[in-house]
Chain A
């Protein structure tokens, strides 16, 4: 229970704010970030589901990939910038509409996942993409994208700014009081909005399963924006602990835990992220394996489990009904909204059907577990008819 020293860790522009309100600071992805505030993970989690939670996610990797010599023809320029990033990922970027955000995967030659990320087409500028990658993988990801761009495009990192997430059913009402235009955004759409004379890049997205927004702003504006959002009584600051329990209930995999370089999109049950146009063309890294797994079956697949008893944590063995080891838990926790333990893990497809009775080994004792559909808690995204 030693206090964590921030030595050698990077801080975000909001470090002082976290300390001032009693954030318990821990190392995460090379940054010193709050795991919780005084109310604690349970209260923070429930507040986000009921009201609006404000998260500092400035450790993540926002960036812009911009064509060096745009032609001025918006469609041609978008096709050109898409052609640069598409070979690295399995998503259809060429088909994005202006302002549309897509969840996709960076792949290696074996079809394993190097990272999961967001790629979005600028609503305003031709030949410009907004790309957000994970904290722990961002150096490698950025190097990979910059190398692919060569002298055709320039990757500009924006991770010296602040990235905030405002999540929960009240998020839209809160944010609209500062930036009324955001109500026009549907889930997975983004755009630039003005707030007190500053430009904030607002995306209607997040990783909690709730409606909400992610906000990129320049570092000097971060505390002003943070304070303005927290001034609304519907908003409370939420730490990394509740961020993790919220995303787990939403059935969303976390890179470095549920996803790694050995796991394919099909194994990870992220087949939706392999876009149809790309499948038909089989023009992405690892296509042979990924298409074969899609056609036949992978040797393992990610499932959701409801666990009876103590939470089964990452690394716990999954057993069949007779006690044979068949898989492993990759994320597991207590689900505050459900009042019971849940987990994500990998099992052979024969054990992946919802309703299958399995067991998990916790401290060398077998506990009952059952395969259930994910999300564990229904998503409440705000989708707009297009």
Chain B
């Protein structure tokens, strides 16, 4: 199991050909209390860099971009009633959507643990 990161603070945890996407602990701390999450529709085709979801704090809305191209296979419905899960548990229970990865090669362009840790130091 591999996790990769974007410079915009999304993570993608790769399980076989599926990626689980969310925002990092660093990002949730910076955004503050999440009060609303706009989830993508299941079946939506995304290209790397497309806007996939929106998370809103009290003060502002932030777009969540697709770290890789693919098709949305599942969304975290629990976030609709409990958006604060992203603050409480961003990298597990607070995942946002799952994507069927179209081109695993795109993962190579993302940051690994060490590079992301370096970015947010």
Contacts and interface: CB of A to CB of B under 8 A. Distances in A.
A313 B61 CA distance: 9
Interface residues on A, range: 20 to 34
Say whether chain A's binding surface is mostly helix, strand, loop, or mixed: mixed
B36 A310 contact: yes
B33 interface: yes
B61 A310 contact: yes
Interface string A299-315: 00000000001110100
A241 interface: yes
Nearest to B120: A1
Given A310-B54, A311-B61, A336-B58, A42 B33 contact: yes
Given A41-B58, A42-B33, 15 more contacts: A1-B27, A35-B59, A41-B32, A42-B58, A241-B59, A309-B36, A310-B61, A311-B35, A311-B36, A311-B56, A333-B59, A336-B58, A363-B38, A363-B54, A363-B61
Contacts of B60: 313
Contacts of B36: 309-311, 334, 341
A337 B58 CA distance: 12
Contacts of A245: 58
Interface of A: 1, 35-36, 40-43, 45, 241-242, 244-245, 309-311, 313, 333-334, 336, 341, 363
A45 B59 CA distance: 12
Contacts of A363: 38, 54, 61
B1 interface: no
Most buried by A among B30, B36, B58, B61: B58
Contacts of B27: 1
Interface string B43-76: 0000000000010111111000000000000000
A313 B36 CA distance: 13
Contact of B59 (A1, A41, A309, A310): A41
A310 B32 contact: no
Contacts of B61: 310-311, 313, 363
Contacts of B38: 310, 363
A47 to B, nearest CB: 13
B9 interface: yes
Nearest to A333: B58
A334 B60 CA distance: 9
A244 B38 CA distance: 23
Most buried by A among B9, B30, B33: B33
Contacts of A1: 9, 27, 30
A41 to B, nearest CB: 4
A36 B60 CA distance: 14
A138 to B, nearest CB: 24
Interface in B53-101: 54, 56-61
A310 B34 CA distance: 11
A365 to B, nearest CB: 9
A41 B57 contact: yes
Nearest to B37: A310
A273 to B, nearest CB: 28
A356 B60 CA distance: 27
Contacts of A41: 32-33, 57-59
29 contacts: A1-B9, A1-B30, A41-B33, A41-B57, A41-B58, A41-B59, A42-B32, A42-B33, A42-B35, A43-B33, A45-B58, A241-B32, A309-B36, A310-B38, A310-B61, A311-B36, A311-B56, A311-B61, A313-B60, A313-B61, A333-B58, A334-B35, A334-B36, A334-B57, A336-B58, A341-B36, A363-B38, A363-B54, A363-B61
Most buried by B among A241, A309, A334: A334
A310 B56 contact: yes
